[in-house]
Amino acid sequence: MVGKSVLFFGDINVDNVFLLPGIPEPGRDAYASHTEMHLGGAVCNSAVVMHRLGQPAAVIAAVGDDLWSDFVFKKLRQGGVNGQSIVIKTGQKTGLIFIAVIPNGERTMFSYRGANLSIQPGDLSPDLLEEVSLVQFSGYAFLESPQSDTAWHLLEMASASGIPISMDTGLDPVVLQPETIRKVLPHLSILITGDREAELLTGFSDFSDQLEGLMAYGLDQVAIKLGARGALLGWDQGSVQVNAYPVSVVDTTSAGDAFSAGLIYGYLHGFSPEAGLTLANTLGGLATTVYGAAWIGRPEVLAFLDERRQSPIGDQEKTSIDQIMHRLAEGV
């Protein structure tokens, strides 16, 4: 399993991050005290973290034939992610996002999806899934044709090959097209979503009811991200909630993407559900301590959990941390 790639399908963007004192009212200016440029898009962020955990990762999406695509391919190489299946669309522009981050770490995004929307089913090679262990979708990929047609085609390919499928819904896809997202759910092994999304998808405000409603689609695992309150995971034999770790938050931009990478890694490598959620929670927390995409891997996780293990914690968390540290230290 380790030798096969996790394939991520969704948007590739170039993220321009601005640290602002606040979001200005219309017609006014805001002056940034700090700015950075990163490779972005949920699938890229998750893929880099996956690689740094030791699991091969590949991305399929579309970029334009502009200078931004050169930046994308350069950063993917630096991140160790296979970008050979990325399609270059002539005459189109690569996705761009301007991210306004305010002092409490919350971010507002201004997005141009660009060439991402133009990927077509014919851009998927017949042998795309030969060395793939799991396919992870961004919920955004199902919003607009022809990208949505391509997402459904890839989902059908993975289902026919018996490859597990995961999706991180994102908030906007659930707000804009909840019925479309619900149609994807029966095809999934893993669903990763947020508390607002879970309520919209199920109609329930209670977390237990949300888990039950989502698990009814036949999933193996359902993770609900709760922000500062931590995260919740359900599976066929139970559920568990973990609290958010105490970290110095500067930017929440890629926290959910790092969380997804950790949960998928735990699922593929046979972690207990509790340990998988603990790893995801760790990566999500660490991702908030840096601006933009968080290229976090084994060294950072092991150091954080080793320190965490020395503090007063419950037996279940200790057991989960021990499992994670043992498996990551051995490269499993």
Report pLDDT digits (tens) over 275-294: 999 999 999 999 988 876 67
**Closest listed residue to residue 128, CA positions, set 94, 92, 95, 153:** 153
Helix (H) or strand (E) holding 60: strand 57-60
Residue with the bigger pLDDT between 222 and 79: it is: 222
Q: What is the pLDDT of residue 55?
A: 95
Q: What is the pLDDT of residue 2?
A: 56
| Euclidean distance between CA atoms 81 and 48, whole angstroms | 6
**Closest listed residue to residue 85, CA positions, set 114, 123, 139:** 123
**Closest listed residue to residue 243, CA positions, set 152, 298, 311:** 311
CATH of 5-329, one of 3.30.70.270, 3.40.1190.20, 3.40.50.2300, 1.10.10.10: 3.40.1190.20
Q: What is the pLDDT of residue 292?
A: 66
**Tokens describing residue 320:** 């989960």
Using CA atoms, how far residue 329 sits from 298, 306, 320, in Å, is 8, 12, 14
pLDDT in tens, 11-28: 999 989 898 999 889 999
- HSE toward the beta carbon, residue 135, CA cutoff 13 A: 26
Chain center to CA of 102: 22
Q: What percent of the chain has pLDDT over 70?
A: 98
Q: List the chain domain ranges.
A: 5-329
